[in-house]
């Protein structure tokens, strides 16, 4: 029960962060395609990984019963996505030091308050580079998904260990019960055979 709650929560977090990542990177890919230019690797790699990870997250979330029965396989795939996101984030690492916002100071002007005097006010303009901001957001979401997929990998691994132990215990009990029943079924027959041969000797 606890596995289902935690697994569903972190899968939902992955989907929530991967959808905007895929959307922003698709914007760049579409722009390069329209200009007949090659998409840079630092955009293309993260885009492909995000698309595959989003499809995998949605599939394992809505087919939870299959995911729980194949927990070890889910754990391995999630761990592979951790490595893929690390590689994609590393390719986009240069954006971490970029300054996407610039603030410019405007000319000061006086504001009159009538008999109460006047005040000098200076306005500031904030300019945000859209391209830089979107890449930086994708970079941040990529780091977050490294952590998210690692968590779901650990959860699936722990669930898989418990499931395998439970199967081994169930198999041991079934085998022990079968052997015990087989011995019990043989006991009366052997007694009857011995008793019959004993009577035949004396007759």
DSSP 87: H
The verdict on residue 173 lying in a domain is: no
Give percent of the chain above pLDDT 90. Answer: 49
Question: What is the average pLDDT score of the chain?
Answer: 78
Question: What H or E segment, with its residue span, contains residue 176?
Answer: helix 130-202
The verdict on residue 169 lying in a domain is: no
The verdict on residue 191 lying in a domain is: no
Q: Which of 51, 5, 6 is nearest to 25 (CA)?
A: 51
The verdict on residue 130 lying in a domain is: no
Q: How confident is the model at residue 2 (pLDDT cuts 50, 70, 90)?
A: confident
pLDDT at 93: 94
pLDDT at 5: 87
Q: Would the CA dihedral through 133, 135, 136, 137 be positive or negative?
A: positive
* pLDDT tens by residue, 166-193: 444 443 444 444 454 545 555 454 444 4
SS3 101: strand
CA 139/CA 89 separation, integer angstroms: 6
Q: Which domain holds residue 33?
A: 2-93+138-163
The verdict on residue 155 lying in a domain is: yes
The verdict on residue 45 lying in a domain is: yes
* pLDDT tens by residue, 55-107: 999 999 888 776 667 888 999 999 999 999 999 999 999 999 888 887 777 66
To 10 degrees, the CA torsion angle through 69, 74, 75, 76? 130
For the question of whether the overall pTM of this predicted structure is more than 0.85, the answer is: no
More confident residue, 138 or 69: 138
The verdict on residue 58 lying in a domain is: yes
Q: How many domains does the chain have?
A: 1
Q: Which of 61, 83, 60, 89 is nearest to 73 (CA)?
A: 60
pLDDT at 99: 85
* pLDDT tens by residue, 14-31: 999 999 999 999 999 999
């Amino acid at each position: 029960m606890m596995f289902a709650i935690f697994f569903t929560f972190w899968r939902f977090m992955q989907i929530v962060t991967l959808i905007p990542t895929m959307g922003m990177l698709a914007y760049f890919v579409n722009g390069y395609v329209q200009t007949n230019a090659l998409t840079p690797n630092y955009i293309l790699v993260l885009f492909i990984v995000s698309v595959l990870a989003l499809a995998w997250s949605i599939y394992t979330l809505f087919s939870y019963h299959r995911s729980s029965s194949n927990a070890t396989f889910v754990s391995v795939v999630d761990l592979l996505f951790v490595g893929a996101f690390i590689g994609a984030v590393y390719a986009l690492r240069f954006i971490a030091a970029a300054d996407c916002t610039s603030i410019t100071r405007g000319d000061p002007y006086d504001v009159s308050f009538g008999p109460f005097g006047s005040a000098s006010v200076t306005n500031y303009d904030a300019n945000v580079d859209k391209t830089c901001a979107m890449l930086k957001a994708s970079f941040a979401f990529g780091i977050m998904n490294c952590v998210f997929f690692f968590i779901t990998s650990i959860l699936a691994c722990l669930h898989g260990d418990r499931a395998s132990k439970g199967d081994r215990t169930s198999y041991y009990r079934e085998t022990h019960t079968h052997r015990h029943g087989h011995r019990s079924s043989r006991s009366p027959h052997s007694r009857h055979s011995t008793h019959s041969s004993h009577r035949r000797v004396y007759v």
